[in-house]
Amino acid sequence: MNIALVTGSAGLIGSEAVSFFADKFDLVIGVDNNLRQYFFGEEASTAWNRNRLEEKFQNYKHYTADIREVPQLEVIFKEYGSDIKLILHTAAQPSHDWAAKEPFTDFTVNANGTLNMLEMTRLHCPEAVFIFTSTNKVYGDNPNYLPLIETETRWEIDANHPYFEHGIDENHSIDHTKHSLFGASKVAADILVQEYGRYFGMKTGVFRGGCLTGPNHSGTQLHGFLAYLMKCAITGNHYTIFGYKGKQVRDNIHSYDLVNMFWHFYQNPRAGEVYNAGGGRFSNCSMLEGIQICEEITGNKMNYSYSETNRIGDHIWYISDLNKFKSHYPTWNWTFGLTETLQQIHDGIAERLSH
C-alpha cells in the first residue's frame, strides 16, 4: 500500500496537498488538531476544512493527534510503517507576531514537533520522502539590508543588484540577523530536516516559503496576508497596514503550485536539499498594490488605515529566486498568477460567508 502522511492537513497547504495526493496514493493520512483556532481564535479555525476533506475524499483518514506528543504519533507510524512513502510536514505555529506571546508553545510545535516527525520517520519508514515547509523568515531581516529603492507603489531592489532579475536565492545568509522567535524555531526545524538528509542519508527536502496563499486559507490578522486582505475587502472590516508606507513587497505562490513542487520532489528526491519557494518575479505585490487588486475584484473601497510601526523583523522587499528548483525539476512551472489567485480567494471566502 502507498500512503502519504500530511501533518497540518486541515490548513492551507496541508489541505491542498490532501486534494492533490488523493488520487495518487491509496491512502492519505491527515494529522491536525486544529491548534490554529487556539493560536488565532474562532475565525481561524480549520474545522470546516477538515470536514470538507472527510466528505470529499473516501481514502482520507484524519487523526487529531498533536505533533508535540510522540505517543500519539507512534500509534500512527506503528500501524502503517513502511507503507508510508511520503511525509509532508506542514503543521506549525505560523505567525512571527504570535510566537512572542508563547515562546514555549511556538518552539515545541515548530522545532520539537519537527524533530518528532523526523525521528518517527527514521524509526518506522526511513525510505519515505520527508518534505518540510520552512519559511523565508529563516533569513531573518537580512533582506532588509539589501540596496532598496522606493517607487510610487512599492520598494524595489536596485536594478544593478544580482537579485534584481530573479530574487533572493538559497545562499542568502540565515545568520547574524533578527529572525523573531518564530523565525528562530523554524531555523531549528529547517536545519534538523537538512541534517536528517545529510547525516542519516534520508530523502529530506526543505521548502522555504515566501507568501503561501490560496482559496482554502483561514485568513486572520496575524496570518494569511492575501486571504485576510480579501476578507476585509469583502466584509468592509478594517485593515491595518503596519509600517514601510504600505510598500512592502511579498511574492505570493498559490498552494496548488507549491504542492506541485512537492510532487516533483517526491518523484525524484534528493537528500537534505533546500529550495526557496514563492511566486518569484511571476507573482508578487506590495500591500498597496494588493489593496488595489482587491478593490477591483470586489468593487468595494477598502477600509484601511496606516500604522507607522512595522512588525518586528518584517521584510521590506522579498522575492524568491526559484531557479535552483527549476534547474533540478525543469518541467515544473507556476500556473496561477496573482490576480487569478486573488479571484479564487474572493470566490472561496464569498461562498463560505454565504453559509
Ligand X SMILES: NC(=O)c1ccc[n+]([C@@H]2O[C@H](COP(=O)([O-])OP(=O)(O)OC[C@H]3O[C@@H](n4cnc5c(N)ncnc54)[C@H](O)[C@@H]3O)[C@@H](O)[C@H]2O)c1
Residues that bind ligand X (CB under 6 A): 8, 10-14, 31-36, 46, 66-68, 90-92, 94, 109, 113, 133, 135, 209, 211-212
Compare residues 133 and 286 and give the one whose CB is closer to ligand X.
Answer: 133
Ordered DSSP codes for 92-161: ----HHHHTT-HHHHHIIIIIHHHHHHHHHHHH-TTSEEEEEEEGGGGTTGGGGS-EEE-SS-EEE-TTS
Compare residues 117 and 234 and give the one whose CB is closer to ligand X.
Answer: 117
Q: Which residue is nearest to ligand X (CB)?
A: 11
Rounded CA gap, 204 and 274, in Å? 9
Distance of closest approach, residue 40 Cβ to ligand X, in angstroms: 8
Grid cell, residue 116, equals 518528532
Distance of closest approach, residue 159 Cβ to ligand X, in angstroms: 27
- Contact indicator for 28, 88 with CB cutoff of 8 Å: no
- Contact indicator for 22, 6 with CB cutoff of 8 Å: no
Compare residues 157 and 187 and give the one whose CB is closer to ligand X.
Answer: 187
Compare residues 68 and 270 and give the one whose CB is closer to ligand X.
Answer: 68
- 3-state SS, one letter per residue, for 241-253: EECHHHCCEEEEE
Distance of closest approach, residue 271 Cβ to ligand X, in angstroms: 21
Distance of closest approach, residue 234 Cβ to ligand X, in angstroms: 19
Distance of closest approach, residue 286 Cβ to ligand X, in angstroms: 16
Compare residues 29 and 31 and give the one whose CB is closer to ligand X.
Answer: 31
Distance of closest approach, residue 90 Cβ to ligand X, in angstroms: 4
Compare residues 152 and 338 and give the one whose CB is closer to ligand X.
Answer: 338
3-state secondary structure at position 354: coil
Residues 6+ apart with CB under 8 A from 73: 31, 65, 67, 116, 117, 120
Rounded CA gap, 163 and 52, in Å? 41
Rounded CA gap, 190 and 304, in Å? 35
